[in-house]
Amino acid sequence: MHCLVIPMSVAFVFSSFFPAALLGLPDEDNALSVLPAHRLLARGKAYTAFRLYFLGALTSSFFSFIFLVFFLIFLKDFYQALKPIIPLILLFILVVMLFSNKYAFIVIVLSSALGYMTVNYNTILPLLTGFFAMSNLILSLFSTGRQPTQRLKSEISISRFDIIHSSLVASVLASFFSLIPAISSGISATASKIFGRFNTEEFLVLIGSTNMAYMVFSFFTLSLLGISRSGSAVLLSNVENVSAFFMAALVLLSSLLSFLILESVYKRLLPLYTKLKQKSINIAAAFVLLLIVFLTSSYFGLLVFLASTSIGLLSNELGVKRINCMSALIFPTVLLIWQ
C-alpha cells in the first residue's frame, strides 16, 4: 500500500497548486499561495508561479531526506519533552492570532465556537472547505479582473540561494510544527515571517516547501513515533514495518517524477485555461463542492459548510487572514488535551 499512497500524496502536493492558483479553489495548505500566485497570474506569469512552487516542493523533499538522520537520533526524546507543553504552544498560537488584526478576535471566536460545537462529528471537510475553498470561490465570482494571456516560459528573478534559503526555512519550521496537532502547514508558512521578509517569488517557494515537508514529516512521525498527522499517514498506519528511509527515498523519487510530469502538463493546460470562462468554471466547482459535502456529511455537513463559508467571507470583509479560521481546530484540540 505504501508504494501507492506515498507517490499519490506527493503528486497531490504538486497538483493541488493548480486549483489554488487558477480556479480560486484552494485548500487550507494552499490558501496563502492564492494572493502571491494571483500577482504573477495578473502579469501573465502563471507558469513562473507553478515553477516556483514546484521547485520549493522538490527542494524540500531533498531537505527532508537529510533531516531524517536527525529525526532518527533526536525525535523520540524531543517529542517526549515537547508533549507536556503542546497545549501551551497551541494557546500561544491562538494569542498571536488574536493580536494579528484588530478584527481577528471576531473571526477566531466564531471559528472556535463552530469547531467546538462540531468537534464530535466528522465535519473537517465541510469546515475547511467552507473557510477556504467555497468562500474564495464566491469572492472570485464577483471579481471583475480580466484574464491575461499567460507566457509559457519561466521568468524567475530570484537566485538559487534564495530558493534554497526559503525551502530550508520552510522545512525547519514544518519539522517542528508537524509534531503539534491542529497546526497546519498554512500556520507554519505564516510563522516563517519571524525569519525575515519574503517577496512574492520566495513566498511561493516557501509554500511549496512547507506543503511537501508537512506531507513527508507526517510519514516520519508515523514511522518513528506511531503518530498520524495526515490522512495519508492514517492509511499507512495499517501497514507494518515501513522503513523511514524507504519512505524518504520513495518521496524523493515521486517528487522528481511529479516535477517533470506536472510541469509539462501545466504548460499545456495554461493556453486552454485562458480560453475558458472563469466564472462558469467557478460556478461548476461550487456545485461540485456542495455535492461532495452533502455526500460525505449529509444535511448536517451542509449546515456546517454554510456556517464556515460565512465566516470565511466575513474574514475577507474584515481584512483578517483566513488562516485565523484554523482556530476551529486549535481551540477544541486544546480542550481535548486538557480533559
Nearest Cα to 119, choosing from 293, 332, 339? 332
Taking the CB of residue 337, how many other CB atoms lie within 10 A of it?
14
Joined grid coordinates for residue 238? 495499517
**pLDDT score recorded for residue 327:** 94
Per-residue pLDDT at 240: 57
pLDDT per position as a tens digit, 248-277: 889 999 999 999 998 888 888 888 877 777
DSSP string, 69-123: HHHHHHHHHHHHHHGGGHHHHHHHHHHHHHTTSTTHHHHHHHHHHHHHHTTTSS-
| Residues 201-225, mean pLDDT to the nearest whole number | 89
pLDDT (tens digit, 9 = 90+) per residue, 110-165? 999 999 999 888 888 999 999 988 998 888 787 655 667 788 888 899 999 999 99
The maximal CA–CA distance of the chain, rounded, in angstroms, is 55
Q: What residue spans of 129-276 are helical by DSSP H?
A: 135-141, 160-177, 185-191, 200-225, 231-236, 244-275
pTM of the model: 0.88
Counted domains in the chain: 1
**Contact (CB, 8 A) for 266 and 37:** no
Dihedral sign computed on CA atoms, order 202, 68, 223, 261: positive
Q: Which single residue is written with the C-alpha cell 487550507? A: 28
- In b/e form, how buried is each residue of 36-56, taking b as 16+ CB within 10 angstroms? bbbebbeebbbbbbbbbbbbb
Give the pLDDT score at 144. Answer: 56
Mean pLDDT across the chain:
86
pLDDT tier, 33 (very low <50, low <70, confident <90, very high otherwise): low
For residue 144, the enclosing domain spans: 2-338
- Joined grid coordinates for residue 186: 498554512
Highest mean pLDDT pick, 148-162, 192-206, 301-315 = 301-315
